[in-house]
Structure 1
C-alpha cells in the first residue's frame, strides 16, 4: 500500500474528502517525525512503539570492491509491535 492508497482507505473508512484525509495523514507524519527528532518515543497502545535508535560510527566494507569504509553515525527508528497487532497478524483461522 502506498501513501495515496492509505489516504483513500482513510477517506473511505472515516468519510470526508480525499484532501481532508491527506491533511490528516500529513499532520500525523509531521508530528511523529518531530517527536522522534527530539528523541521522543511514540506509543500507540496495542499497535506498537516507535523509538529513535542512535547508530554509532562503525567500520564496514563496500560489497562490490571489498574496500573498507567508515559508516558515519546516524539516527534510525526501531518499531516494536504491540500485542494486539501481533495477535491480529498471527491469528489462526
Structure 2
C-alpha cells in the first residue's frame, strides 16, 4: 500500500477528504522524522515503536573487488511491532 492508497482508505473510514487524510499522514511522518532526528522514540501503544539505533563502526568488503573497507558508525531508525500488530499479521 502506498501513501495515496492509505490516504484513500483513511478518508473512507473517517469521512475526511483524501487531501485532508494525506495532510494528516504527512504531518505524522514529519513528526516521527523530527523525533528521530532529536533521538526520541515514538511509541504507539498496540502498533509499535519507532526508535533510533546506533551502528558501531566496522570493517567490511567491497563486493565488486573484495577489498577491505571501513564502514563508519551511523544512526538509523528501527521499528519494533507491538503486540496488536503482531497478532493481526498471524
Tell me if TM exceeds 0.5. Answer: yes
Q: Which runs of 4+ in 1 moved over 3 A?
A: none
- The Cα offsets for residues 36-75 of structure 1, whole Å up to 9 and x where unpaired, read as 1111011111111111001122111111211111112221
Report the aligned-residue RMSD: 1.1
TM-score, with structure 2 as normaliser: 0.91
Q: Distance in 1 between matches of 2:25 and 2:70?
A: 37
1:37-76 matched pairs, under 5 angstroms? 37-76=37-76
Deviates more, 1:67-76 or 1:38-47: 67-76
TM-score, with structure 1 as normaliser: 0.88
- 1:31 maps to which residue? 31
**Offset at residue 6 of structure 1 (A):** 1.2
Q: How many residues align?
A: 90
**Offset at residue 22 of structure 1 (A):** 1.0
Secondary structure at the counterpart of residue 4 of structure 1: helix
Q: Distance in 2 between matches of 1:34 and 1:54?
A: 17
Q: Unaligned stretches of 5+ in structure 2?
A: none
**Offset at residue 30 of structure 1 (A):** 0.5
